[in-house]
Structures are given as structure tokens and as C-alpha cells.
Chains A and B, each alone.
Chain A
């Protein structure tokens, strides 16, 4: 197991609990979609895994190791990448290349190595032309792709994506899908877009009433723009 959550309790102070006895596990190679209404705790789940929030009860195991102290989380963060919902939160360096190299520099690889890795990642994502651009002058779609690069450059074994498609145009959307389909890392993708999850994940879980339930195979997911009974293509629902 890469990630194991067991009987997790969590609440923000002064609010009803987000998770009650919640359990969830991510196996190597798994690509999992996570759906649920606003406020059901999708982002909270990702932040608990990264150790940005601490559960009031329950155990988190990352790569087989019990994660309780900041130190274990720090180690795990080198192997888990989190793509934040808002790319502006993730890109804080003056230029694109500096931002992409930020993670590797923190991992302790030298400057030259960090630069090389950053260049390779930008190249793999077709972003080489942007390397020396000022981060805040990028467009929304470019920011998202660069933010993804800042995570991928650390070669994470697990990728957590928090609503990666919100506000993206068609072209950027397709590029994100392509990248995620090629990637080998295990993924947890939080999204409202069923079509996107159907393209990028294999199984889907739903957050409901403080718990995470297995919801079925992603291929069954799609949004409906047609009148259901009159649909021509035969299909079934779980």
C-alpha cells in the first residue's frame, strides 16, 4: 500500500466533522478518482495525506510507515506530489524555471542538476519556451501546466490532483488528460468532471457523510447532455 488511512476523524474547529471513521487505501499503480459535493472534504483528504492538516484520531500510513511526526511527512512529501487547486498558490518564484527547480533544490540535488531536471520536465511537457518567463505573466492554462511541471519534476510515486481542470480551456484540458494518461505514478484525482475522471482514472470513490465509498469503475462515468431514455447508445449505470 502506498497510502493507508484508517478510521480517520477530522473537523475544522467550530464546524461539524468532515470525516468520521473514514478509511481509504491507495495501491501501487492505482489511478483513483474522487467525487463528492462541495464541502464534502475532497481537498481536506489530500491535505491530510500531505500532513498539512492533522487528524484528531486515526492513523495515516505512507509507504508502509506510520506518519505522525512532521519528519515522516517531510520524507513522504518527497515521494508524493500535490497539485493545488489554484496554480497561483503554487507558483511563487519570479521565473518558470526557478519555480520548477524549487522542489529539486529542496531535495538537495545541486544547482546544475536541479536546472537540468527542470529543463527536462519542461521539455517533456512542451513548455521549454516558457522557461524564462515571469510566472505571474503566464495565462491561466499555462500556469496550470507549469504548476504540474513543478510537481512532476520531483518524480513523485503518488500524484494528488485537486480539481486540475477547473477553468481550463479545451486545449489545456486535453494536454492535462494526455499527460495524466502517460504518467506512471499512482494518482488520486479530485474532480467534479466525470468525463475527465473517465479519461484519466480507473476507479472512482465518492465522499459521502464523512466516509469514502467505492463507487465503481470510471468507464461507467460520463456526463449526460442527452435526454436519458431517448439516448441511442445503449448503456447501463451502477
Chain B
């Protein structure tokens, strides 16, 4: 379900402190999400590509992920020119295609690709466990951190439970069709998964209580902050600052 394939590697991105990467990815995403100028967005895409190159992730896995994002973004290239009002490029009867719509779709494409690439380079190069520990050390709310880590852990268990239900149904000749019987069966599966997940949550909590858990989450991981982290924090901060300056400087460069 979650294979964390990007978290294995020895590139400089893999070796950076997860706290730095988490903060950089968050800061970068916020700035990019708020930017509108073409220069800033193009810059973001370049920066994100550079980071991705430093992460040296397998192209075979990066490609399909970007494809998935852009397949979805592709929908906006169809919808936005038709729905956003503005100067018409072309019109036929009630249907008109606007320049502003294309511009918006273009911005959206740049933003989503930059953010996804930055997260692949920065966040995905750490394991979920390392990210959870980093969240904890950055003083994220403990409930959020625990929720994040426990979700990751028990997704697999819930998936197994789902597979078991599915197998049991298939063994008894269940063939999904477009009928009420099929929908009811699916509804039962979902219901059973919810009930089991909630019962399991109770047992997990009991098990944690038995080992002395009382709400305070401790972590064993203590990544050492190295010179490399300091150097890269300067680089990453500079990247974000350049974007901020390009976007919010009074001189319009777009």
C-alpha cells in the first residue's frame, strides 16, 4: 500500500535531516501555492527539478507519479477555459474559450508539478517513521504525530482485513455486478472494516496503556544536525526567499 520506495537511497537529499526537509517542503509549498506571477512559478518549477535531480530518484518511478498528477491537471485544461470568464479566444454560440482560463490552467500545472516534485525530493526521501519523529521533534501537536504514525502502521492491517473479506466472498462465488446484491456486499465490507478498525484501535490503545503510555510521545530517533544540514538550510531558505522576492517585489516581471 505504502511502499516508501523513495526513502531508500544515499543521495544528499536522503541524508539531510528530516526536520529540515519537512520545514523546507512546507515553506516551499506555501509560497508556491500563493504565487501568481509566471516568473515565480517558473522559478519554482526549476528549483523543484533541481532538488529532484539531487535526490536521484529512479526515473521509472518518478515518471508515473508525475503522469498521475498531470492526468488530473489535464482535466482543468479542458474545464477552466470553458468556465472562467474573460477575453474570449474563440466562441461558438454560448460556448466561449477564454484566455484567462488557459492562464489559470497553466499556473495550476506549474504549481502542482513544483509542489509534487519538491515533496518527492524532500519528504519522500525520508521514511514515514523518520518523518513522524521529525514532526515530534519540531513540536507538532502530539495527537497529529501519533495519528500520522498509527495510520501508516494500521493501513496495512486494514488492507489485510479487506483482502480477507474479499477472498472469503470470492470463495463463495461472489461476482461483482451492477446490482443491489453487489452494492450491499460492498456496504457490508465497509461496515465490517469500520467496526474492526474501531475495535482494533481500542486494543492498540490498551496495549499502549499497558506499556505505560499516558499521552506523551517519545521518540528514539535523534538525527544529528550536521554541517551539511546547515549548508543546505541556507540553500533551501535562499530558494524560498528568491521565490518570495520575485512574487512580491513591487516591480512586475511577468
- For A73, give the chain B residue with the smallest CB separation: B209
Does A150 lie at the interface of the complex (its beta carbon under 8 Å from any beta carbon of B)?
yes
Chain A interface main SS type: helix
**A134-192 contacts to B (CB < 8 Å):** 134-136, 150-151, 154
- For A97, give the chain B residue with the smallest CB separation: B220
B206: contacting residue among A52, A95, A136, CB under 8 A:
A52
CB distance from A21 to the nearest CB of B (A): 26
Does A126 lie at the interface of the complex (its beta carbon under 8 Å from any beta carbon of B)?
no
Does A28 lie at the interface of the complex (its beta carbon under 8 Å from any beta carbon of B)?
no
A106: contacting residue among B127, B128, B132, B211, CB under 8 A:
B211
A95 to B4, CA, bound (A): 14
> Contact: A77 with B212, CB < 8 Å?
yes
> Contact: B149 with A102, CB < 8 Å?
no
Kindly supply a per-residue 1/0 record for chain B positions 196-209, scoring 1 wherever the CB is within 8 Å of any chain A CB and 0 otherwise.
00001001101111
List chain A residues, Cβ under 8 A from B211: 77, 102-103, 106, 150-151, 154
A150 to B213, CA, bound (A): 13
A86 to B19, CA, bound (A): 34
Given contacts A95-B129, A135-B153, contact A105 B218 (CB under 8 A): yes
Does B192 lie at the interface of the complex (its beta carbon under 8 Å from any beta carbon of A)?
no
11 further A-B contacts with Cβ under 8 Å, apart from A107-B212, A114-B220, A151-B211, are: A50-B210, A74-B212, A77-B209, A77-B210, A92-B149, A93-B149, A95-B129, A114-B218, A134-B129, A136-B156, A136-B157
List chain A residues, Cβ under 8 A from B224: none
CB-defined A-B contacts under 8 Å, sample of 17: A52-B206, A52-B210, A77-B210, A78-B212, A84-B206, A84-B207, A86-B203, A89-B206, A92-B207, A94-B128, A94-B152, A98-B221, A102-B218, A103-B211, A103-B212, A134-B129, A154-B211
List chain B residues, Cβ under 8 A from A204: none
Does B30 lie at the interface of the complex (its beta carbon under 8 Å from any beta carbon of A)?
no
A84 to B209, CA, bound (A): 12
Does A115 lie at the interface of the complex (its beta carbon under 8 Å from any beta carbon of B)?
yes
> Contact: A106 with B203, CB < 8 Å?
no
Given contacts A78-B212, A89-B204, contact A94 B220 (CB under 8 A): no
**B150-193 contacts to A (CB < 8 Å):** 150, 152-154, 156-157
Q: How many residues of A contact B (CB 8 A)?
A: 36
CB distance from A205 to the nearest CB of B (A): 22
A93 to B216, CA, bound (A): 14
Does A212 lie at the interface of the complex (its beta carbon under 8 Å from any beta carbon of B)?
no
A151 to B212, CA, bound (A): 11
A92 to B208, CA, bound (A): 9
Kindly supply a per-residue 1/0 record for chain B positions 92-106, scoring 1 wherever the CB is within 8 Å of any chain A CB and 0 otherwise.
000000000000000
List chain B residues, Cβ under 8 A from A115: 220
A44 to B220, CA, bound (A): 33
CB distance from A171 to the nearest CB of B (A): 23
B153: contacting residue among A82, A86, A94, A111, CB under 8 A:
A94
5 nearest interchain CB pairs? Answer: A94-B129, A106-B212, A105-B218, A103-B211, A89-B203
Does A88 lie at the interface of the complex (its beta carbon under 8 Å from any beta carbon of B)?
yes
CB distance from A157 to the nearest CB of B (A): 14
A82 to B209, CA, bound (A): 10
Does A59 lie at the interface of the complex (its beta carbon under 8 Å from any beta carbon of B)?
no
> Contact: A98 with B207, CB < 8 Å?
no
- For A89, give the chain B residue with the smallest CB separation: B203
Does B252 lie at the interface of the complex (its beta carbon under 8 Å from any beta carbon of A)?
no
Does A90 lie at the interface of the complex (its beta carbon under 8 Å from any beta carbon of B)?
yes
List chain A residues, Cβ under 8 A from B128: 94
A90 to B153, CA, bound (A): 11
CB distance from A39 to the nearest CB of B (A): 16
List chain B residues, Cβ under 8 A from A52: 206, 209-210
- For B199, give the chain A residue with the smallest CB separation: A89
CB distance from A48 to the nearest CB of B (A): 12
Does B214 lie at the interface of the complex (its beta carbon under 8 Å from any beta carbon of A)?
yes
Does A47 lie at the interface of the complex (its beta carbon under 8 Å from any beta carbon of B)?
yes
- For B208, give the chain A residue with the smallest CB separation: A92
Given contacts A78-B212, A106-B212, contact A92 B150 (CB under 8 A): yes
A188 to B128, CA, bound (A): 37
A81 to B208, CA, bound (A): 11
> Contact: B220 with A105, CB < 8 Å?
yes
- For A92, give the chain B residue with the smallest CB separation: B153
> Contact: A102 with B213, CB < 8 Å?
yes
Kindly supply a per-residue 1/0 record for chain A positions 66-100, scoring 1 wherever the CB is within 8 Å of any chain B CB and 0 otherwise.
00000000100110011010101111111101100
